[in-house]
């Protein structure tokens, strides 16, 4: 064996103490290292470590001057990471050991006091909880901005009419504002899911140790308060064994991405020549490498495609966790990459769709022309008969026969005379042209949630008020989180 090969096979010393006399094989080192992705937790790891160091001083487990030295060293490391000058070392496995090793080079042997009463198990659980809290809030804020854009665009299109679709077939006419407010309702539930999860991440894992807590007189309430949690977790085993909060985030992200994918699909359809309802701004479109006439809806297409990643990340972690015994198992390292990927994917997709909606052009005339088909008001004819006392199933059958006659004779639904209408049913009392009126149809749909102009306008204003209140609450939450960063 060559000297180089021998040196490579000798590997590196294990960073965590005296139990092992042999070195880690380089292939195992590469296989098990996570610092290349869990460095995303660096700021949270430092924040938790600062809170832990101050608690150790407050309980007398570490001299106050040593705690001050630890905090100063951690602050310096934080600046190095932010500046991009931190020397990440894969041989040290993860972000936690990298920070601790760097701390030792900066403050010396006193760095060894930082891990007093702490395990990497409760340390990573704390970092993840802090990450989830911030990421959920970021998702709520991003979804708020997207919904605000949709509401503002809807204000201009209360009177813009287009066909609503079921089975991708023209069904009934709707207002564009009503259609876009449907997106807002759907995205509001997405935001609420992230808000619900954020409120569930309210207990601090720090101090749970590896599995059974500590014999040292730690003050878990001290660190919980410093990190902005309501209280410590109640069970040390559950604290280090569970990843259901991560799974819940991945679930909320996957649901939201599926919703964004459906919205994107409509943008793709509507921007096609076959529909022609909208035109995407140049800033949110691309061209073809071969066909100079093309303007491709790549942004919504990519969002639609990335939904598969979010769904896959959820399935991945569910599969990883389903067979694990309590408590911590190294398999759980596999929670980080799906978490970070879904968080970044969701952030980027919401951002580009917000810009897409803010800048797209609506072809009002094209939408209106598509909504003029009298067939879209067929249900109105059935409901007119119901108003005259005809059972709905009978009325439905009558209008179905009228539609069949239209298809057979090649005539429009609004072309029947009063006499012909009486032949279909004596309760009609007028020609189909007189009975089928788009504005009258809209006006009658004045139930809550309907498409009457006043109803849509009221829903629009109510939604705007709700979003304003939500914005105020989220800004307060963000200010509180920012204040907590100084732990």
Each domain of the chain, given as residue ranges in start order, spans 21-116, 121-216+226-370+461-484, 374-444
Predicted local confidence at residue 16, as pLDDT: 53
Express each pLDDT in 302-322 by its tens digit.
Answer: 999 999 999 999 999 999 999
Residue 5 has pLDDT above 50, yes or no: no
Average pLDDT over residues 133-140: 97
Return the percentage of the chain with pLDDT > 90, whole number.
82
Residue 11 has pLDDT above 60, yes or no: no
Split at pLDDT 50, 70, 90, the class of 201 is very high
Express each pLDDT in 432-444 by its tens digit.
Answer: 999 988 998 888 9
Q: Please, what's the largest Cα pairwise distance for the chain?
A: 103
Predicted local confidence at residue 302, as pLDDT: 97
Bridge partners, residue 476, by sequence: none
Split at pLDDT 50, 70, 90, the class of 4 is very low
Bridge partners, residue 173, by sequence: 163
Residue 3 has pLDDT above 70, yes or no: no
Average pLDDT over residues 28-33: 66
Residues 6+ apart with CB under 8 A from 297: 267, 268, 271, 280, 285
Return the percentage of the chain with pLDDT > 70, whole number.
93
Average pLDDT over residues 36-62: 94
CATH topology of domain 121-216+226-370+461-484: Fumarase C; Chain A, domain 2 (1.20.200)
Predicted local confidence at residue 240, as pLDDT: 96
**DSSP assignment of 301-367:** HHHHHHHHHHHHHHHHHHHHHTTPPSS--GGGGGGHHHHHHHHHHHHHHHHHHHHHHHH-EE-HHHH
CA distance 189 to 222: 35
174 token code pair: 């709707």
Average pLDDT over residues 237-248: 97
Residue 15 has pLDDT above 70, yes or no: no
Say whether 121-216+226-370+461-484 and 21-116 share the same fold.
no
Residue 27 has pLDDT above 80, yes or no: no
Active site residues: 167, 288
Predicted local confidence at residue 35, as pLDDT: 72
State if pTM tops 0.85: yes
CATH topology of domain 374-444: Ribonucleotide Reductase Protein R1; domain 1 (1.10.40)
Residue 377 phi, psi dihedral angles, 5° rounding:
-105, 15
CATH topology of domain 21-116: Fumarase C; Chain B, domain 1 (1.10.275)
Residue 470 phi, psi dihedral angles, 5° rounding:
-65, -40
Average pLDDT over residues 217-231: 97
**DSSP assignment of 172-211:** EEEEHHHHHHHHHHHHHHHHHHHHHHHHH--EE-TT-TTT
Predicted local confidence at residue 1, as pLDDT: 42
Which has the closest alpha carbon to 70: 119, 115, 111, 109? 111
Split at pLDDT 50, 70, 90, the class of 301 is very high
Express each pLDDT in 392-419 by its tens digit.
Answer: 999 999 999 999 999 999 999 999 999 9
Q: Assign residue 164 a region (left: φ > 0; alpha: ψ between -120 and 50; beta: otherwise).
A: beta
Mean pLDDT of the chain: 92
Predicted local confidence at residue 37, as pLDDT: 76
Predicted local confidence at residue 324, as pLDDT: 95
Predicted local confidence at residue 158, as pLDDT: 97
Unique residue bearing structure tokens 């005539």: 411
CA distance 235 to 207: 11
Predicted local confidence at residue 287, as pLDDT: 77
Express each pLDDT in 105-130 by its tens digit.
Answer: 999 999 999 999 999 999 999 999 99
365 token code pair: 């005339």
Predicted local confidence at residue 6, as pLDDT: 42
76 token code pair: 């310096």
CA distance 59 to 37: 34
Predicted local confidence at residue 187, as pLDDT: 98
């Amino acid at each position: 064996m060559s000297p180089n090969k021998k040196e490579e096979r000798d590997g590196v010393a294990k960073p965590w103490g005296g139990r092992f006399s042999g070195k880690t094989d380089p292939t195992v080192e590469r296989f098990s290292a996570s610092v290349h992705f869990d460095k995303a937790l660096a700021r949270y790891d430092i924040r938790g470590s600062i809170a832990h160091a101050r608690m150790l001083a407050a309980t007398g487990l570490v001299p106050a001057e040593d705690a001050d030295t630890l905090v100063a060293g951690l602050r310096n490391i934080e600046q190095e990471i932010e500046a991009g000058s931190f020397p990440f070392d894969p041989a040290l496995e993860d972000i936690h050991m990298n920070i601790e090793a760097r701390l030792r080079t900066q403050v010396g042997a006193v760095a060894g006091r930082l891990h007093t009463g702490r395990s990497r198990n409760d340390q990573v659980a704390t970092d993840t909880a802090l990450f989830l809290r911030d990421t959920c809030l970021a998702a709520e804020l991003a979804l708020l901005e997207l919904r605000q854009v949709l509401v503002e665009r809807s204000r201009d299109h209360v009177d813009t009419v287009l066909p609503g679709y079921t089975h991708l077939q023209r069904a009934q006419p709707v207002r564009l504002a009503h259609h876009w407010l449907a997106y807002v309702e759907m995205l509001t539930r997405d935001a609420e899911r992230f808000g619900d999860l954020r409120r569930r991440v309210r207990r601090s894992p720090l101090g749970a140790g590896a599995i059974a807590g500590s014999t040292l007189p730690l003050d878990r309430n001290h660190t919980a308060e410093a990190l902005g949690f309501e209280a410590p977790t109640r069970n040390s085993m559950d604290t280090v064994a569970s990843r259901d909060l991560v799974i819940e985030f991945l679930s909320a992200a996957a649901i939201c991405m599926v919703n964004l994918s459906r919205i994107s699909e409509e943008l793709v359809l509507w921007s096609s020549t076959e529909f022609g309802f909208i035109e995407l701004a140049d800033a949110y479109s691309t061209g073809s490498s071969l066909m100079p006439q093309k303007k491709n809806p790549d942004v919504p297409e990519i969002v639609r495609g990335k939904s598969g990643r979010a769904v896959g990340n959820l399935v991945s972690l569910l599969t990883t966790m389903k067979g694990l015994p309590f408590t911590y198992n190294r398999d759980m390292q596999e929670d980080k990459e799906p978490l970070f990927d879904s968080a970044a994917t969701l952030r980027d997709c919401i951002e580009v769709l917000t810009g897409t909606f803010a800048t797209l052009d609506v072809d009002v005339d094209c939408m209106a022309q598509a909504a003029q088909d009298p067939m879209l008001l067929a249900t109105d004819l059935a409901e007119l008969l119901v108003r005259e006392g005809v059972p709905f199933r009978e009325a439905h059958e009558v209008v179905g026969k009228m539609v069949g006659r239209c298809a057979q004779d090649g005539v429009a639904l609004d072309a029947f005379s009063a006499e012909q209408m009486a032949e279909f049913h004596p309760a009609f009392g007028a020609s189909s042209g007189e009975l089928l009126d788009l504005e009258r149809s809209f006006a009658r749909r004045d139930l809550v949630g309907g498409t009457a102009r006043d109803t849509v306008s009221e829903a629009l204003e109510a939604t705007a008020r709700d979003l304003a209140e939500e914005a105020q609450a989220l800004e307060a939450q963000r200010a509180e989180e920012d204040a907590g960063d100084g732990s």
